[in-house]
Amino acid sequence: MAKLKHNYDVLVVGSGAAGLTLALSLANNLRVAVLSKGELTAGSTWHAQGGIAAVLDDQDSVEDHVADTLVAGAGLCHEDSVRFTVERSKQAIQWLVDLGVSFTRVEDGSQFHLTKEGGHSHRRIIHSADATGMAVHSTLLDRVRGHKNLDTFDNRIAVDLLTRPNPGTGKVQCTGAYVYNRKSDAVETFQARAVILATGGASKVYLYSSNPDSASGDGIAMAWRAGCRVANMEFNQFHPTCLYHPKAGSFLITEALRGEGAHLKLPNGERFMERFDPRCELAPRDIVARAIDYEMKRLGSDCLYLDISHKPEAFINEHFPTVKARCLEFGIDITRQPIPVVPAAHYTCGGVVVNKRGQTDLDQLYAIGETSFTGLHGANRMASNSLLECIVYAQSAAEHIEATLASIPTPEPAPHWDDSRVTDSDEDVVISHNWDELRRFMWDYVGIVRTQKRLERATHRIKLLQKEIQEYYRNYKIGNDLIELRNLAMVAELIIRSAMQRKESRGLHYSLDYPDAAEETRDTILVPSNFAAQAVFVKRSPAPCPKE
């Protein structure tokens, strides 16, 4: 079989909101390839229910949105990054509106309907009923599919980045990626003058997750192996309310239900959030998730309940049709009964270290969206800031690429992927067993509540597991499951190492051994042994979080 090579100006690895926004922003003047791990609609954006936080109401302000984000981030947000994002929120929403995204309006149609979610002091969440991600993603896809300079490649999973020394800067330059074609079972070579990692987060490292199966930390793992720093990987957001049902998979119950008055209840119908935070159900996600986890363990209960049945049925039908329809599939009528819920891994707040242009430590390599660490989220992402970050940083990266790419030469041809010394595996059970073991011990030892002893156990297990995976990777032909397992194990190690370094409890990192927050606020920055070069930029320490 002939081995395929593809050459483009720009290679975008990932087809969510961040990747498609960047691709559309560049396609008028450059040839762009977009890789999707599965079908083009398989990523996290398509499944996002809530909305996008933006300053759109006259009663709201940039200062209030910035302040709310800093409070939620528990002292680790980079205030300059927060302000950079929030100041561009209105422009980002207008860009989506101009593309044709159909956001929900008030009854008379005069303005957009804005809702309120945990951590926000104003109604500032613009949404499309309870399927905002689908509305945004489908609009972006329509524009991408119709563009003559944009090519999409589905069922492709990147294996590793192509790099070479850059004689002009003395650093390492990214020139493309080896990509596994899931349909043809072959590895293809994609080369480009700029490469963008927009592969999403790593929540599938945990046993229970609200994310689709594609969230296996591919971009973070590839960037680390290529020599990029990562930061704050210990901060994994657990969404408080994932539907608890044996056949429900990873269906998320949107935060907007609590924003519109839904109550969290114990199995006996008693509300409990007032015992944990004066904001009750509207407390930030880390507080709500820990409260649910505590009550479940205290009671020995498999789940708790989220109840919006006290609201009018017409209101529920208008605002939450997706949640209602999905719950009805399992015999749960949310207009009449509470929804069984459990916390689930939801969002990776850390990632590949970047600046405001999305640049990583490698020349011509960018990271945007959940793959990146911008400093926006701090120790806890505030609801609905993530889709905003995708749009803002994708546009910023696109501006930088367009302004500088003319001076970047076409990469020299890279060698084909060499699989001549590997064989077909007859032991795929090893992959499935290691996959299950990894996700289970990460849930048990590195979950919502942590201890040093649990982290030490996780450290021991990940070392043994990585040794087995690496031996398997060297000897057998790769496939989708092995690629994902290799990446998940790498990301798991980064999460464990980061958690071991943080001797305090802050935001999403809660340790029984160190229950208090330290006076000094600092990011956890891990540096790989093959650190690509001197950093292009230096992030300053985050500003202290303003007191509530």
Residues belonging to the active site: 285
Using N-to-C axis directions, what is the helix angle for 452-475 and 429-445, rounded to 10°? 160
Count of C-beta atoms within a 10 Å radius of residue 547: 5
Cβ partners under 8 Å of residue 418, min gap 6: none
- CA 351 → CA 111, 223, 230, 258, 495, distances in Å? 36, 10, 5, 28, 10
Q: Can you read off the two tokens belonging to residue 321?
A: 């049709």
- In the beta sheet, which residues pair with residue 420? none
How big is the CA angle at 65 (ends 63 and 69), to the nearest 5 degrees?
Answer: 115
Give Cα separations from 438 to 342, 347, 441 (angstroms): 20, 18, 6
Cα angle: 509, vertex 67, 203; to 5 degrees: 35
Cα angle 185, 190, 191 (rounded to 5 degrees) comes to 165
| CB of 196 closer than 8 Å to CB of 13 | yes
Angle between helices 132-145 and 17-26 (to 10 degrees): 30
- Three-class SS state of 132: helix
The answer to whether 118 and 256 are in contact (CB under 8 A) is no
Q: Which of 295, 325, 289, 324 is nearest to 309 (CA)?
A: 324
Is residue 98 a contact partner of residue 150, using CB atoms and an 8 Å limit? no
Residue 234 CA to residue 524 CA, distance in Å, equals: 8
Give one DSSP letter per residue of 345-364, joined into a string.
EEEE--EEE--TT-B-SSBT
Residue ranges in 281-377 assigned as alpha helix (H):
285-299, 313-319, 321-328
Cβ neighbours around 463 below 10 Å, total: 12
The alpha carbon of 211 is separated from its chain's Cα centroid by a whole number of angstroms, namely: 9
Sheet with 304-307, strands from edge to edge, namely 236-243, 339-348, 304-307, 263-265
Q: Quote the strand ranges of 225-329, DSSP E.
A: 230-231, 236-243, 263-265, 304-307
Residue from 118, 61, 73, 60 nearest 546 by CA: 73
